[in-house]
Amino acid sequence: MKNLLLGCIADDFTGATDLANNLVRAGMRCIQTIGVPDDGASLQADAIVVALKSRTLPAAEAVSQSIAALNWLQAQDAQQIYFKYCSTFDSTPKGNIGPVTDALLDALHGPDQGFTIACPAFPANQRTVFKGHLFVGDVLLSDSGMRHHPLTPMVDANLVRVMQAQTRRKVGLVTQDVVAAGPQAIRERFAALRREDVCVAVVDAVCNQDLMTIGEALAGMSLVTAGSGIAIGLPQNWPQLRARGPESRADALPPARGWQAVISGSCSIATNAQVLHFKQSGRPSMAVDPLTIAAGEDVVSKVLDWAEPLLPNGPVLIYATTEPTAVQAVQEHLGSERAGALVEEALSRIASGLIARGVRQLLVAGGETSGAVVQTLRVKLMTIGPQIDPGVPWTAVDTPLCSGEPVHIALKSGNFGSSDFFTKAFSQLSAL
Ligand code: ADP
């Protein structure tokens, strides 16, 4: 594909979907790739999001994966590059947001050259930046739960300081009063910062209007680094997108066919409520027990034999989801890693068995579970469709397990979705 408008590099899988979802809702046709694709010949999209898993890698590895993604996106003639990180600016004590930003600017503009922004703000999700400080809801990032994150603890909310500790380039600030004064004022501030040799500008944003104003000021900037919020202000910069009529839907997917199934490996409060709601609606469900798998029983065949005759009647649910005390008991027996791996493997094999039996509409609950299922189905590309609930879109994917026929798949990380998510998602799809 050539003439790509926006080429995005996301530092984790669910973050990539979050960004892609925002871009589609703002009017861009969007494809998410799992890792850097081998080629790009048949991709048709305004934006492509390359999903990496680079957030917690050693910096050198994160850099080399990000540069591989950049090279691929440049080969698609991407007009603008977007490096997407978490809206809580998650980074290890040694990076990776700074080192990746440096490497991308080096590649685009030469050593210690170039200019970009850093802005994780997403006010709709309670992430705001004021005077360069990141707030999570009403508290500073450093007073939020992120202080104790197991992999990326964030103990400083001052993004200028955090970023300056990670980058060779000089970091500056565009404050909210400048943002509120409009795109021209922001561009003038960018120019003033550049005269002071600043190459990375942290930008304040406290509301959606700020995101739209900043977006306008970013027209033509070769690299944008941000959370997923800034994305909503970028599509307005391309006249060809503005010229499209309302009938041209960016979230269009091929018609959904085939049987329906839900695979749930998340044990979050929201997912427990969704499983309960599905069962109480009288639909068929079957639990998968990690201890039975560990005992060597062929749980996968048992589930598939149970599901096969039911599929023509409507969605079936296969779940390992359970309450915290039960999870704890299993973990004490098997260890948490082994329990997780056993469940993920069984659920992934069940997913591919269901596809082989004609399922073409699949909901998966759980971040890790989703990663395992997508890997087992050997999915490389996801076309992003309409949003079911905030942050969770339907997508259409190709898998070699049923090549030529799209599978509609929605990946829901733990706490997302209303309690009727498992049933309402399918009715939304049939209404497309
Ligand atoms: P979430 O998005 O809610 O965090 P994940 O899929 O990322 O969900 O993580 C849930 C983890 O718990 C997975 O590794 C899954 O295999 C594991 N798991 C699911 N059910 C059970 C269970 N009954 N006992 C122990 N571990 C489980």
CA distances 274 to 10, 215, 368, 412, 427, Å, are 29, 37, 18, 11, 15
- The Cα 204–Cα 231 span in angstroms is 15
Strand partners, 364: 263, 411
| CB 255 within 8 Å of CB 430 | no
pTM of the model: 0.90
Select from 3.40.50.10840, 3.30.70.1060, 3.30.1540.20, 3.40.190.90 the CATH code of 6-242: 3.40.50.10840
The dihedrals phi and psi of 31, each to the nearest 5 degrees, come to: -120, 140
Q: State both tokens at 229.
A: 């919020």
- The Cα 311–Cα 369 span in angstroms is 22
Q: Whose CA is nearest to atom 19 of ligand 1?
A: 265
For the chain, 432 residues long, give each residue's pLDDT as a single digit of tens: 567 999 999 998 888 999 999 999 999 999 999 999 987 666 889 999 999 989 888 999 999 999 999 999 999 999 999 999 998 898 887 889 999 999 999 999 999 999 999 999 999 989 999 999 999 999 999 998 888 877 788 889 999 999 999 999 999 999 999 999 999 999 999 999 999 999 999 999 999 999 999 999 999 999 999 999 999 999 999 999 988 877 788 999 999 999 999 999 999 889 999 999 999 999 999 999 999 999 999 999 999 999 999 999 999 999 999 998 999 999 999 998 899 999 999 999 999 999 999 999 999 999 889 989 999 999 999 999 999 998 899 999 999 999 889 999 999 888 889 999 999 999 998 876
Nearest atom in ligand 1 to the alpha carbon of residue 415 is 3
Strands 133-136 and 139-140: antiparallel
- The Cα 106–Cα 42 span in angstroms is 30
CATH 3.40.980.20 given to domain 259-430: yes
Q: How far is the CA of 119 from the centre of ligand 1 (A)?
A: 32
pLDDT value of position 367: 85
- The Cα 258–Cα 86 span in angstroms is 35
Q: Where in the chain is the domain with CATH 3.40.50.10840?
A: 6-242
Q: How far is the CA of 321 from the centre of ligand 1 (A)?
A: 7
- The Cα 301–Cα 318 span in angstroms is 13
pLDDT value of position 431: 73
pLDDT value of position 40: 65
Q: Where in the chain is the domain with CATH 3.40.980.20?
A: 259-430
Q: Which of 331, 368, 373, 412 to mutate to test the pocket of ligand 1 (most atoms within 8 A of CB)?
A: 368
Q: How far is the CA of 283 from the centre of ligand 1 (A)?
A: 22
The residue with tokens 């599509």 is 235
Q: How far is the CA of 365 from the centre of ligand 1 (A)?
A: 9
- The Cα 33–Cα 37 span in angstroms is 7
What residues are in contact with ligand 1 under a 6 Å CB criterion? 265-268, 271, 290, 320, 322, 327, 330-331, 339-340, 343-344, 366-369, 413-414
- The Cα 115–Cα 125 span in angstroms is 27
DSSP element (H, E) containing 223: strand 223-226
pLDDT value of position 155: 87
Q: Whose CA is nearest to atom 13 of ligand 1?
A: 340
Q: How far is the CA of 338 from the centre of ligand 1 (A)?
A: 11
pLDDT value of position 244: 86
Q: State both tokens at 398.
A: 């190709």
Of 74, 54, 55, the C-alpha closest to 65 is 54
Q: Residue 284 half-sphere exposure, CB side, CA atoms within 13 Å? A: 15
Sheet with 127-130, side-by-side order of all strands:
127-130, 133-136, 139-140
